[in-house]
Structure 1
Amino acid sequence: MRALFQKIKQQFLKGYDLVLVSVTASSGSTPRGAGSRMLVNKNGRVTGTIGGGAVEYRAECMALDILERKESCEHQFLLNRKDVENIGMICGGDVTVFFQYLDHNDPIIAEITETAEKFYEERRDFWLICDLLTTSGMSLYSPACGLIGNANVPSFVLSSLSAKPHRYRSKDYDLFSEQIGTSETVYVFGGGHVSQKLVPILASVDFRCIVLEDRPEFADPALFPGAVETMLCDFNHLDQYISITAADYCCVMTRGHSYDTIVQAQLLATPACYIGVIGSRTKKAAVFRRLVEEYGIDEQDLNRIISPIGLEIKAETPAEIAISITGQMIQIRADRKASLK
């Protein structure tokens, strides 16, 4: 979503009006769920996707028509088996899509793009709220900064916002909300070969990464495209550099067992939602023994540590291991969102 807002700003500066195409509801085996978006200008799709295939093509054609009419609207693609066969889709199901017209001269939308970038930089939890009853009705909401934009949002909606996309409807309003910014961060401890492969992949699926390393040559930001920060630190005193919350993920892959143990002992004193440690099961047993005997860690607390880290896909190379870790973290992130209200 950050890239989408950046693209809106770029397109506005070029004088392009846009249509933001958003999936607000889906059922059955549709390719993308609620919250999927794409951006369209007069030349066609600019960025994003609502699943590809015939539905996306038809939605793009509708968006071009909306650019001419300068009006927002909603459309439901009803895909029964016969429809699916006729339009050549593999997936069946129904998709509700909202087409939101964005005027490049609209100062409110311009302000929203600037504010979104600021919120991303500041690592805030914030939501995009689209007013489906008006043209260009859009707001951002952050608990710390309040509501910014022109959507008519009742206070009870703000108090009930969740991590999952949600539609609020009554005779007085029709709103679609989605959390698009989060304070969650991935802390990667160690800057070796796996970390160097892992960070760009995590960043590509919207994880915010900070790399911590105690060797200057491996704390080079150039080694970690996509990282928001690379820190040279002392692994013995992590609390002097970072403050880990319950929304944060930790990947431990330092240069040796000793440092891995020191880092894990400190992470177990935090509420981190994910602690993954690279290494074999033999290494895991040795490190766990040290954590209990030398650091006084309760054996029950060791259950918080995922080691070996990543999904079991027989990964061997640094790139393959990075993919397995990313897959596991995507799964955990999705489960956490589903568990929230």
Structure 2
Amino acid sequence: MIFWQHILDKLQDSQKVYVLTVIENFGSSPGRKGFKMLVAQDGFIFGSVGGGVMEFSLVEEAQQLLQEENQPTYIKKQIHKGNIKEGSGMICSGEQTVAFHCLDSNHISVIENILSCIQNGEKGTLSLTPNSFYFSHKIIDSQFEYTINSTKDWFFEEHIGIKETLYIIGGGHVGVAVSELFVKLGFYVVVFDNRENLNTLEGNNFAHQKQVIDYNSISNYITEANSSYVAIMTNKYTDDKLVLSKLLKNNYKFIGVLGSKAKLQTMWKVLLKEGFTQEELNRVNAPIGLSIKSETPEEIAVSIAAQLIQIKNRK
């Protein structure tokens, strides 16, 4: 969000800024789709499109254009294979294409709408073309959609706002650590617990939403979607089993349970006797998190984050 705030500040100061956006990348390119950098008339620079000598030359290019009468919109391909045509000077063997858009005071409302979307937990799409830089509240299925037919015929769309939601069932110390980390990772974080006046829940200032509920109705609070991630970590076995039994037949991107292997094996036997299938149980990630011998709440949060990022980014 700070990136867009910097842009708004410069535009409101009657400055022009160039926004550089990576719209395509291949191989070991240091810049990935969606990487952005702003270059303002007063010399202020923020963000990154990959770093190194390549980035330095692109910044110089934008700074030079800002001193001229006209500021064109265009795309520039960078090939990171040393001193060749369209070469970036880097040798990491990747490729990337960077779009240059010059924004001025006419774009203030666009940036304000982007900031409002992010601040209010809404969703929308940033659309870039050779002739435009605009924002709308339409929703795209993936994080990025783009087509490059030529330097004059291309478009790039990027999902803006929080796309993934992590539902944490259990507001204890681990829930606090997981909330803190996943907010930093860009997830919308919701925490549920069934205990009134729980100090760790009340003191959790990281989660976007917190609520005390009856676990028997847990499925009413969690949206079935490919962007929904569920982490079950209540304070006792019976509640873990209850929550899992209520959610097991629903469709989520991820569902996992915190606990020892012995506890989970007992839970599996009981759920099988209650009519759940082995196929349904196989969908559950348990014990939740990658096996890194984590012990503290913070280490457990890291192990869960690593697992969910791996799943989120899986092609």
By the TM > 0.5 criterion, same fold?
Answer: yes
Structure 2 match to 1:112: 110
Which of 293, 310, 314 is equivalent to 1:314? 293
More helix per residue: 1
For the pair 1:101 / 2:102, whether they are aligned, the reply is yes
Distance in 2, matches of 1:322 and 1:90, equals 36
- Note closer, same or farther for the CA distance 1:292–1:7 as it changes in structure 2 (3 Å cut): farther
- Paired residues, what number? 308
Distance in 2, matches of 1:32 and 1:172, equals 22
Per-residue Cα deviation, 1:280-306 (whole angstroms, up to 9, x for no partner): 211211122222234x32221011100
Distance in 1, matches of 2:81 and 2:151, equals 30
For the pair 1:204 / 2:184, whether they are aligned, the reply is yes
Structure 2 match to 1:149: none
For the pair 1:191 / 2:171, whether they are aligned, the reply is yes
Report deviation, 1:209. 0.9
AA at the equivalent of 2:81: N
Query: 1:252–1:278: 8 Å Cα contact kept in structure 2?
Result: yes
Identity, % of aligned pairs?
Answer: 29
- Note closer, same or farther for the CA distance 1:11–1:195 as it changes in structure 2 (3 Å cut): farther
Report deviation, 1:228. 1.6
Structure 2 match to 1:127: 125
For 1:20-99, list aligned pairs within 5 A: 20-41=19-40, 42-46=42-46, 48-69=47-68, 70-82=71-83, 89=90, 91-99=92-100
Distance in 2, matches of 1:331 and 1:28, equals 19
Per-residue Cα deviation, 1:228-247 (whole angstroms, up to 9, x for no partner): 21112222221454433342
Report deviation, 1:327. 1.6
Per-residue Cα deviation, 1:267-288 (whole angstroms, up to 9, x for no partner): 2132111001111211211122
Report deviation, 1:113. 2.5
Query: 1:248–1:272: 8 Å Cα contact kept in structure 2?
Result: yes
Which of 294, 308, 314 is equivalent to 1:329? 308
Distance in 2, matches of 1:197 and 1:279, equals 16
Per-residue Cα deviation, 1:150-177 (whole angstroms, up to 9, x for no partner): xxxxxxxx8xx74434225369742112
Query: 2:229–2:252: 8 Å Cα contact kept in structure 1?
Result: yes
SS at 2:263 equivalent: helix
AA at the equivalent of 1:223: N
Query: 1:233–1:241: 8 Å Cα contact kept in structure 2?
Result: no
For 1:237-316, list aligned pairs within 5 A: 237-294=217-274, 296-316=275-295
Per-residue Cα deviation, 1:63-109 (whole angstroms, up to 9, x for no partner): 222322333332222322457xx988563323221111111x11xx2
SS at 2:21 equivalent: strand
SS at 1:202 equivalent: helix
TM-score normalised by L of structure 2: 0.86
Distance in 1, matches of 2:13 and 2:259, equals 50
Distance in 2, matches of 1:317 and 1:247, equals 28
Gap regions ≥5 residues in structure 1: 145-157
AA at the equivalent of 2:74: C
Query: 2:162–2:186: 8 Å Cα contact kept in structure 1?
Result: no
- Note closer, same or farther for the CA distance 1:280–1:123 as it changes in structure 2 (3 Å cut): same
- Note closer, same or farther for the CA distance 1:14–1:276 as it changes in structure 2 (3 Å cut): farther
SS at 2:114 equivalent: helix
Gap regions ≥5 residues in structure 2: none
For the pair 1:223 / 2:204, whether they are aligned, the reply is yes
Residue range with higher mean Cα deviation, 260-269 or 73-82 = 73-82
Query: 2:173–2:200: 8 Å Cα contact kept in structure 1?
Result: no
Report deviation, 1:264. 0.9
- Note closer, same or farther for the CA distance 1:320–1:32 as it changes in structure 2 (3 Å cut): farther
TM-score normalised by L of structure 1: 0.80
SS at 1:305 equivalent: coil
- Note closer, same or farther for the CA distance 1:89–1:193 as it changes in structure 2 (3 Å cut): farther
Per-residue Cα deviation, 1:175-212 (whole angstroms, up to 9, x for no partner): 11222345531101112222211122212221111111
Distance in 1, matches of 2:64 and 2:137, equals 34
Structure 2 match to 1:151: none
SS at 2:64 equivalent: helix
